[in-house]
């Protein structure tokens, strides 16, 4: 029998505050969103990360009902009151198969090399363990962090703290200046876009379509609705089967407009956030139809590339599909975990 999660988490009663001379530590409130964005952008510029953080993403963090800034964040300010380091811990609620917590954080380039990152990560791990200790006791526990492959120092810091890389995801792009594939939808099915009224049906279709994907858990409605704030409806599609007298979502593609990345990467793109085909409709080339539709929409909007990311161990043959459609790898992101 598995030990209770509270025992496995071994949560500290008191969280360790980083011992970094010159920084005063306190939670990072929502009112400090501009300070946080400035810190994150300085770090991302120094690290030359491909993915950049937007103001909307910072706002989504503080708006999340599963994040309490007073207990789940810690920031260090210098003598001038400038935010120089910050860490955040978010739990993922209502997952049936795993109790999962995600940590993130950054240290300003000018504050690195003095143990700030090590101390901040120690605090984040302690807080993650405290949260896990309150979750369903019969589930396996997991602390996760996402980093880009090129963030060598940050990855080494996390691995020294016990994180193990378990999955790699390729970032890919497709040049929209090249000839685009035709949008071919099988007879009896209908391609639609800009249908926000289908949001709940698409959520349910996604949960079904990804049930056999590694690490995927059903997305609850509240989290889905929060995340949908990044979606561009006119670039997002569903393929409907109406043969039964109702509109049934057979497949879907959800797009975003990652403008926060454009200046640093030097080109514009529309990003495919999610793409899925329900099992009953697989084998009918619905994914190529959706990707082609998105490519045409992105190009019509004046964008230069279509982008997406894919699990390198995706069992559905997604890599082969993307390669056949002209997508090429631009980088790799790494998921590292501590399993309890």
Q: What is the pLDDT of residue 61?
A: 87
Give the DSSP per-residue string, 161-190.
TT-EEEEEEEEEEEETTSPPPP----TTEE
Q: What is the pLDDT of residue 227?
A: 72
Collapsed DSSP state (helix, strand, coil) of residue 52: coil
Contact 164, 337 (CB under 8 A): yes
* pLDDT band of 92, cuts 50, 70, 90: confident
Contact 265, 227 (CB under 8 A): no
5-162, superfamily in CATH? Gcn5-related N-acetyltransferase (GNAT) (3.40.630.30)
Express each pLDDT in 139-154 by its tens digit. Answer: 899 999 999 998 999 9
Q: How many residues make up the chain in this entry?
A: 340
Distance CA 40, CA 177 (A): 33
Average pLDDT, the chain: 90
Q: Is 171-333 in the same CATH topology as 5-162?
A: yes
Q: At what angle do helices 33-47 and 55-63 cross, to 10 degrees?
A: 130
Number of helical (H) and strand (E) elements in the chain, helices listed first: 11, 12
Q: What is the pLDDT of residue 211?
A: 65
Tell me the sheet residues that pair with 103: 89
Residues 6+ apart with CB under 8 A from 222: 65
Residue 214 has pLDDT above 60, yes or no: no
Distance CA 118, CA 156 (A): 11
Q: What is the pLDDT of residue 298?
A: 98
Distance CA 317, CA 330 (A): 19
Q: What is the pLDDT of residue 146?
A: 93
CA-based torsion, 71, 72, 75, 81: positive or negative = negative
Question: Minimal CA–CA distance to 331: which of 154, 149, 166, 176?
Answer: 149
- Mean pLDDT on 51-72: 89
Distance CA 155, CA 146 (A): 9
Give the predicted TM-score (pTM) of the model.
0.88
Tell me the sheet residues that pair with 145: 336
Pick the CATH number of 171-333 from 3.40.50.720, 3.50.4.10, 3.40.50.460, 3.40.630.30: 3.40.630.30
Q: Using alpha carbons only, what angle is made at residue 159 by residues 156 and 160, rounded to the nearest 5 degrees?
A: 85
Express each pLDDT in 293-312 by its tens digit. Answer: 999 999 999 999 999 998 87
**24-26 β-sheet, strand order:** 24-26, 73-77, 83-92, 99-107, 141-148, 328-339, 164-175, 305-311, 269-277, 248-256, 237-241, 189-193
Q: What is the pLDDT of residue 270?
A: 97
Query: What is the domain partition of the chain in residue ranges?
Result: 5-162, 171-333
Distance CA 232, CA 247 (A): 21
């Amino acid at each position: 029998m598995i030990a209770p999660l509270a025992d496995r988490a071994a949560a500290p009663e008191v969280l360790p505050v980083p011992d970094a001379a010159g920084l005063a530590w306190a939670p990072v409130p929502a009112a400090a969103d501009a300070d946080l964005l400035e810190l994150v952008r300085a770090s991302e510029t120094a690290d030359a990360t491909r993915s950049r953080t937007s103001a909307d993403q910072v706002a989504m963090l503080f708006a999340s009902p599963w994040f309490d800034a007073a207990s789940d964040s810690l920031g260090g300010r210098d003598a001038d009151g400038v935010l120089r380091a910050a860490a955040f811990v978010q739990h993922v609620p209502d997952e049936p198969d795993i109790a999962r917590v995600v940590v993130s954080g950054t240290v300003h380039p000018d504050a690195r090399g003095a143990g700030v990152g090590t101390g901040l990560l120690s605090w984040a791990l302690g807080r993650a363990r405290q949260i896990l200790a309150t979750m369903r006791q019969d589930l396996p526990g997991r602390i996760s962090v996402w980093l880009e492959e090129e963030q060598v120092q940050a990855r080494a810091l996390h691995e020294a703290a016990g994180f193990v890389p378990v999955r790699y995801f390729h970032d890919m792009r497709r040049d929209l200046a090249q000839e685009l594939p035709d949008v071919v939808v099988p007879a009896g099915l209908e391609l639609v876009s800009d249908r926000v009224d289908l949001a709940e049906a698409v959520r349910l279709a996604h949960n079904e379509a990804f049930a056999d994907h590694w690490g995927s858990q059903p997305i609850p409605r509240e989290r889905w609705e929060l995340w949908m704030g990044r979606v561009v409806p006119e670039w997002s599609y569903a393929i409907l089967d109406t043969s039964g007298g109702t509109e049934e979502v057979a497949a879907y593609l959800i797009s975003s407009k990652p403008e926060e990345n454009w200046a640093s990467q030097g080109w514009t793109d529309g990003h495919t956030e999610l793409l899925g085909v329900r099992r009953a409709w697989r084998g009918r080339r619905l994914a190529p139809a959706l990707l082609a539709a998105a490519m045409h929409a992105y190009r019509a909007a004046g964008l230069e590339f279509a982008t997406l990311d894919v699990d390198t161990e995706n069992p559905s043959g997604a890599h082969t599909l993307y390669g056949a459609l002209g997508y090429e790898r631009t980088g790799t992101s790494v998921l590292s975990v501590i399993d309890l």
